A and B are shown apart, each in its own frame.
Chain A
């Protein structure tokens, strides 16, 4: 039995003991608050999780989600570029700079329009 194995088993067992103990202690000593809103399930703006699906809800959630999607996809686009950056060379770099700048203008527009402010 090597020293590392011993050490790691000590750590894991230690954790296995300490974490439940801490949780137990918090449950016993921690301060509490409650209510309907807290107990409700959270689904980006959908008020009633149970019931009919054709209810109305704020478009702001959509907007945020779409904006997230856009920037997310653009970030994804950078992965293959990063992998092949060496082959693409300076030209590829400049292309990506243009791309990011265009994104930036979009971001500026969004910011200035106040889309990200949760009113």
Chain B
């Protein structure tokens, strides 16, 4: 029964999702109260996850449910980040739906389903579980991306995402099948045991299978050359969904990616060279795409590619030491706080139908709404990696890790990419501070997003002061 403790937060979110779904079919729920309820559910799940995390390993959680799931501090903190992302995304949604009228309670229900998929994904230690959780997450996200059926842009986005996602899903299934064929098991632990006794090179089937699985992961985190969908989809999706995708999905995938890649030392050695190139190309392709964008959401999507590149550096670097994932999780937390921060601000500044979406639309924001502008600046600086923000510390840990793993070139390229990224991050800051305002940025209605902005602005610093905790 102790096994159930580690999936307790998942049960909370899942049960919440089902209950909300049933309730939505019976009662006529108001948008505001649904948002509050779902924020409450996420908060409760967060608290539960926190308790699970701090209680330590009171029981041998290494493998749970006969090796289908695994639990470590790494996965638990990843779960915490995911639940926090869910919480803030619900805040964003609440504010967003005061200005955009296509909400229904199922929206929040789907957010929770997606979150439960993500939670399961972080803990997955077996290929079939992994696939199922990947699909739970992806299906919910597909629906959410296309939630606003009235606009063609959204439908286009969901079509692209669904098609390419199915493509990647097929890669994954194929890869999983090949791995099973090669190693004789779908459980990570047994694959690892097989690899320990048999050379990786003896089994081309395993190599091909692993390649396909990794490609599926790279697709989900939008790494080069599987990144092309991300800009269109992030742009097309409704704001809260984009926020949730950018942070929650990335956290979940990187958690399972790390769990998968460190299966075996022999296996990892093969991938380092390859991931090296992926990381470099991802960072620079992301930067190049981001520089060309005029739309804020598209820029953030492209910058998400760059951040994926950094996280892949961490994966490359993690290899040589005993893996704890602390660096990855720290970076994810920093990235999630800053990204969601921008999205919370956009939620109440965006206006009806996301009217304000380009750099030019935020001209002179600092003069009209100084606090919001300051908060956005903090988030931008954190993403650009300027001390003393969390983003700086995250990059710092990743770079030092890379140096420690003798990946000097990668570290240098990471720093160069970080410098390049200032181009588009500071562009927004310049717009906000050095241009004259052309409108008054009125915000109507009661909204929670400003609260979220404030909390996240503080936490950008708070996370920065918190040392790597794993």
Contact = CB atoms under 8 A, between A and B. Distances in A.
Contact of A102 (B18, B25, B26): B18
A112 B25 contact: yes
A108 interface: yes
Nearest to B19: A105
B152 interface: no
B166 interface: no
Interface in B1-30: 18, 21-22, 25-26
- Per DSSP, chain B at the interface is helix
Contacts of B26: 112
B422 to A, nearest CB: 48
A113 B18 contact: no
A71 to B, nearest CB: 17
Contacts of B18: 102, 105
Nearest to B24: A109
B129 to A, nearest CB: 15
Contacts of A112: 22, 25-26
Contacts of B22: 105, 108-109, 112
B57 to A, nearest CB: 25
A26 B25 CA distance: 50
A62 to B, nearest CB: 15
A102 B26 CA distance: 17
Interface in B208-256: none
B3 to A, nearest CB: 12
Most chain B CB within a 10 A radius of its CB, from A102, A109, A112, A113 = A109
Contacts of B25: 108-109, 112-113
A109 B18 CA distance: 10
A107 to B, nearest CB: 11
A5 to B, nearest CB: 53
Interface in A60-119: 102, 105, 108-109, 112-113
Contacts of A102: 18
A112 B27 CA distance: 10
A112 B29 CA distance: 14
A113 B109 CA distance: 15
A9 B317 CA distance: 82
A112 B18 CA distance: 14
Most chain A CB within a 10 A radius of its CB, from B18, B22, B25, B26 = B25
A105 B18 CA distance: 8
A108 B26 CA distance: 10
A102 B25 CA distance: 15
A109 B22 CA distance: 6
B371 to A, nearest CB: 42
Nearest to B21: A109
Contacts of A113: 25
Contacts of A108: 22, 25
A34 to B, nearest CB: 42
Nearest to B26: A112
A101 to B, nearest CB: 10
A15 B165 CA distance: 57
Nearest to B14: A102
Nearest to A114: B25
Contacts of A105: 18, 21-22
Interface of B: 18, 21-22, 25-26
13 contacts: A102-B18, A105-B18, A105-B21, A105-B22, A108-B22, A108-B25, A109-B21, A109-B22, A109-B25, A112-B22, A112-B25, A112-B26, A113-B25
For the complex of A and B, 5 pairs with smallest distance between CB atoms: A112-B25, A109-B25, A113-B25, A105-B18, A109-B21
